């Protein structure tokens, strides 16, 4: 909407409204264009509301000297709608500040978190089904398919309606383990499972 450099602030009428996913995808693209390894992650931020893990998208990148993925919240580098806790560093999130969908699922299955506290801010959409959905979206993002936050495919709709059972949860256990191992070939192979791969046409 404006040909000026992205570093220049726009007037309100020349700004585009977006979600955290838009911030993440744009930041990831800019980092990749600059030669950095970068990827989008879908999951839950624990730093917006005490006692809640809220649906959120961030990125991870590797600098030239880094031997780890650095987790960064591009939406809040310069402040944001939510006041952030003292000491939180959006440019280098600590373990536990943000849980990917896969990390949240693994923690839920181990009984380390209360699934009822995971969900979408300002809605009634809370519970383990939200973790299931974000786990699948996180796997897709690791395969460079960054869906919209409200997209549903595969068995997500049934999961949100409580119509999935132990077999689907076992698939998600495998997903969490593969995401934790972070081997590109295994991530790609698992993503081709029809329960996980984004189809040509979304359900919603």
The DSSP string of 17-37 is: ---HHHHHHHHHHHHHHTT-E
Domain segments of the chain as ranges: 17-191
Distances (CA, A) of 135 to 47, 55, 147: 19, 11, 12
Q: Where are the alpha helices (DSSP H) in 143-194?
A: 156-160, 166-181, 184-191
Give the residue among 170, 194, 174, 168 at the shortest CA–CA distance from 186.
174
The helix-helix angle for 166-181 and 128-142 (nearest 10°) equals 40
Residue 86 in this model has a pLDDT that exceeds 90? no
In this prediction, residue 127 carries a pLDDT of: 96
Give the residue among 38, 6, 11, 10 at the shortest CA–CA distance from 24.
38
* Proportion of the chain above pLDDT 70, given as a percent: 97
The pLDDT-based confidence of 63 (bands split at 50, 70, 90) is confident
How do residues 27-40 score in pLDDT, each as one tens digit?
999 999 999 999 99
Residue 64 in this model has a pLDDT that exceeds 90? no
Residue 82 in this model has a pLDDT that exceeds 80? no
Residue 73 near residue 45 (C-beta atoms within 8 A): yes
How high is the mean pLDDT of the chain? 92
Residue 99: CB partners within 8 Å, gap ≥ 6?
Answer: 43, 44, 46, 53, 107, 113
To which H or E segment does residue 79 belong? Answer: none
Can you name the residues that pair with 37 across neighbouring β-strands?
A: 62
The pLDDT-based confidence of 110 (bands split at 50, 70, 90) is very high
In this prediction, residue 13 carries a pLDDT of: 87
Average pLDDT over residues 176-186: 97
Residue 53 in this model has a pLDDT that exceeds 80? yes
Encoding tokens for residue 26? Answer: 């744009």
In this prediction, residue 80 carries a pLDDT of: 63
In this prediction, residue 204 carries a pLDDT of: 60
């Amino acid at each position: 909407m404006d040909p000026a450099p992205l570093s220049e602030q726009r007037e309100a009428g020349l700004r585009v409204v977006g979600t955290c996913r838009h911030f993440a995808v744009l930041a990831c693209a800019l980092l990749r264009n600059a030669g950095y390894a970068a990827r989008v992650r879908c999951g839950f931020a624990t730093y917006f509301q005490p006692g809640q893990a809220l649906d959120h998208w961030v990125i991870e990148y590797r600098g030239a000297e880094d031997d780890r993925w650095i987790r960064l919240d591009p939406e809040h580098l310069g402040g944001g709608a939510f006041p952030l806790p003292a000491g939180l560093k959006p440019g280098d999130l600590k373990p536990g500040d943000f849980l990917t969908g896969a990390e949240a699922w693994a923690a839920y299955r181990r009984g380390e978190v209360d699934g009822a506290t995971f969900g979408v801010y300002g809605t009634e959409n809370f519970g383990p089904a939200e973790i299931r959905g974000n786990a699948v979206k996180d796997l897709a993002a690791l395969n460079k398919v960054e869906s919209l936050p409200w997209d549903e495919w595969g068995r997500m709709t049934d999961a949100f309606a409580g119509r999935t059972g132990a077999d689907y949860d076992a698939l998600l256990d495998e997903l969490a383990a593969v995401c934790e191992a972070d081997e590109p070939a295994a991530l790609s192979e698992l993503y081709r499972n029809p329960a996980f791969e984004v189809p040509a046409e979304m359900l919603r």
